[in-house]
A = this chain, B = another copy of it.
Amino acid sequence: MREAVGDAVPANRPGRGRRPAARESILDAIRASEPLSRVELAAMTGLTEAAVSMTVRRLLEEGLVVETGRTPTGGKPRTLLRLDPAARLAVGVYLDRDTTTYVLTGQTGGVISRLARPAPTGDLLEHLTTDIGTLLAGSGVDRARCLGVGVVWPGPRGSMARFDDAPPHLRGWDSEELGQRLAAGTGWPVLVENDATAAAVGEYWVARVGPEQAFAALYMGSGIGAGIVVEGRAMRGGHGAAGEFGHVCVQVDGPECWCGSRGCLEILAGPRTVVTAARTDPVAAAEAGLDPSAGRGVAADFAAVARAARAGAPRCLGLLEDSARYVAAAAESVVNLLDIDLVVLTGPGFAAASFVYGPAIMRRVSDADTRTWGRSVTVTVSLAAATASATGAAALVLQSHLRR
């Protein structure tokens, strides 16, 4: 029902036999904690050693996994297994407002090559197809190894039509349709996802988060969202629109939000709000070098404010700290509601300003934490926050394929 566009793996595979559970759990265990030996895999997955042995043999034959080294024990040494990074590839595309970013990643999520283009003015589909071709050709890899394409755009899946401020080149598109037509054009399966969920899956994949951790990725781009991964599965909600972190209410009677509600995080503390405040405050605008008459877009201006704050500009720092108070409160709500263990800040916004937001969230969460809940939540910043969406899109493809 809720499988993504182009996902070629129905829940109950027709034909003979069922979807092998061993394959998925073994690959996921190796991904999260490589290198691992077969005995360790058996212990971690709960499978028998025999089952592990057979499944691993198949994975070795397929080239997904390689044996690398051994560790001495009392008896026969363990043979260590890793994912072969180059065995399978995936393309991730991030359709930002003014830039389209393409990445080609290997099986472990590492970026092999990258391409950035200005947002297309002509036919979106044509641009995507040719740019993906360029990316692959330029990196000289075997196209047959590529598993598919992940596409991320800002905002939830579905139609862009209902958003007033949709980027012009995306206006009128529907994510399902885009996915299907791109799949038809390129011949690869295409997954479409929102930026925050993709970033969460990417982080889960690249940062070796285990399925035992309840995990939330807070994503700040031109808006603010959250991707939530529990028990190794991304939460997409009833209609693929989960993660609207920006519309968590942090002030009952706050200002009206464009969504029709009041006091949403987005309107109180979103990047657009921060930038607007900076543009209209002469001091802050001067600190950040903003041109109040001709803003260069939310993302760029937000980054400028963050740079200024980092360099010591007090007014810009103040604006960010105001915003961070709200974000921290909303983050705490999410942590409390879902019993989250790990919060990762990611996306271009947090990439620029995590030095303010990170400590603010950590303070707010840890206060109640140790005192009341007897847990400890970790708050970190993604290592590749700026490009998290695109690599996340690629990780989506890897995940969906390796779970086959």
Contact = CB atoms under 8 A, between A and B. Distances in A.
Interface of A: 1, 10-12, 18, 21, 45-47, 158-159, 162, 212-214, 226, 228, 230, 235-245, 247-253, 257-263, 325-326, 329-330, 332-334, 336-341, 364, 367-369, 371-375
A375 B241 contact: yes
A219 to B, nearest CB: 13
**Copies of this chain in the oligomer:** 2
Given A47-B12, A238-B340, A261-B364, A333 B372 contact: no
Contacts of A236: 339
B329 A252 contact: yes
Given A239-B339, A242-B339, A244-B337, A332 B162 contact: no
B332 A249 contact: yes
Contacts of A263: 329
Contacts of A10: 46
A interface: dominant SS: loop
B259 A371 contact: yes
B367 A261 contact: yes
Nearest to A364: B261
B248 A251 contact: no
Nearest 9 A-B pairs (CB), nearest first? A237-B339, A214-B238, A260-B368, A242-B339, A244-B336, A238-B341, A260-B371, A249-B329, A248-B333
A42 B326 CA distance: 49
A271 to B, nearest CB: 18
A257 B367 CA distance: 11
A326 B21 contact: no
B249 A252 contact: no
B339 A259 contact: no
A264 to B, nearest CB: 8
Nearest to A245: B337
B12 A247 contact: no
Nearest to A45: B12
